[in-house]
Homo-oligomer: A and B are copies of this chain.
Amino acid sequence: MSMKRKVAILGATGAVGQRFIQLLQGHPWFQISVLAASERSAGKKYKDACPWLMETELPEEIAEMSVVNADVKSVEQAGEVDLVFSSLPGDLAGPAETHFGALYPVFSKASAHRMDKDVPLFIPEVNPDHAEMVKIQQKLRGWKGFITTDPNCSTIQLAITLKPLMQFGLKQVMVSTMQALSGAGYPGVSSLDIIDNVVPFISGEEEKMEAEALKILGKYNSAGCNVQNAIFQLSASCNRVNVKDGHLESVFIKLEQDPIIDEIEEAFANFQGEPQRLKLPSAPVNPIVVRHEKNRPQPRFDRDAGCGMSVVVGRIRKDPIMTFKYMCLGHNTIRGAAGGGILSAEFYVSKGLA
């Protein structure tokens, strides 16, 4: 037990922070040692600092832990730390992650540093070689630690499905999303805004999707310590729907080649990444699950596939304009947030990078 790496969670009281806590219970490699959040929560017992939103019980020992302020000094005083998960809110994340990154490996779910030139935007199944970038980042910045980032939740699941399509010459991606409430955090979306309604706008989301996917699927250039964007085009239209968890995306794809549907299905279904080869603790057996029913994937039925770490694809069909179209669904706070972050950390650890 004492051999486990000690982790600090920055932003531990938020919706993603709670998911980190839930998923790290009984984790074979990681052990929570420090819970940090904003000043408002600092000094309180965790159970008093926030309402627990998970359907599983708040673990007793977490409930009694004191929350500390999310600065390096407070965290170091609070406990031993080997690595850091950050789900701080946007405005706090930028500077805080820089301070922590100088000292520790920081696995960030925040958007602040995603587009930094020397920071990986990382999905272990999709761009495992980008992880190497942190070695040069450390050298350039003179840091003991580093920052690596996870993409936006709606981007992660899409990018995983795009990866096996690269072999066919990916040219254009058009996507219209139907995103879950938990993606907005807590309290997040007011019930009065969403009952009997859809909100066709999520601030900054379309821009993130359109920019991030190109970096994730881009080519890592170790000489320049940067990523050369992939050359396909992406257009997104983002909507919030009255669903608790699970982003559903309607995707239209243009390829250079014209594979038949069976070939596309196979490419999805057979896709395997480094986490599967390395048998990482949080890796799903299949990063992509293909369903053949005419009306799937559906958020309530498919979001927990692979313990929330698989992306579920369905309704793969030819398209009158593009090459083909399909639906994809992922659990936005597991694969799309805390689970994705933990899998990234597992990958870095297994490669000796963290």
A200 on interface, CB distance cutoff 8 Å: yes
- Which of these, B53, B174, B243, contacts A174 with CB under 8 Å? B174
CB-CB < 8 A to A314: which residues of B?
A: 200
- Which of these, B190, B193, B242, B304, contacts A241 with CB under 8 Å? B242
Residue among A190, A192, A210, A242 with max Cβ neighbours from chain B (10 Å)? A192
Complex Cα spacing A197 to B320, Å: 28
Complex Cα spacing A233 to B178, Å: 24
Which residues of chain A from 229 to 250 have a CB within 8 Å of any chain B CB? 233-235, 237, 239, 241-244, 248, 250
CB-CB < 8 A to A304: which residues of B?
A: 55
Complex Cα spacing A8 to B233, Å: 53
Contact of B182 with A192 in the complex, beta carbons under 8 Å:
yes
Partner-contacting stretch, out of A71-79, A291-299, A337-345? A291-299
Complex Cα spacing A189 to B192, Å: 8
Contact of A325 with B237 in the complex, beta carbons under 8 Å:
yes
- Which of these, B55, B241, B294, B295, contacts A178 with CB under 8 Å? B241
Contact of B198 with A235 in the complex, beta carbons under 8 Å:
no
Task: Identify the closest chain B residue to A51 (Cβ).
Answer: B193
Contact of B300 with A248 in the complex, beta carbons under 8 Å:
no
Contact of A196 with B321 in the complex, beta carbons under 8 Å:
no
Complex Cα spacing A297 to B186, Å: 20
Q: Taking A235-B319, A237-B327, A325-B235 as contacts, is the C-beta distance between A252 and B201 under 8 angstroms?
A: no
A191 on interface, CB distance cutoff 8 Å: yes
Contact of A200 with B320 in the complex, beta carbons under 8 Å:
no
- Which of these, B210, B295, B321, contacts A201 with CB under 8 Å? B295
Complex Cα spacing A315 to B236, Å: 12
Q: What is the interface of chain A, defined by CB distance below 8 A to chain B?
A: 15, 53, 55, 172, 174, 176, 178, 181-182, 186-201, 210, 233-235, 237, 239, 241-244, 248, 250, 252, 294-301, 304, 314-315, 319-322, 325, 327
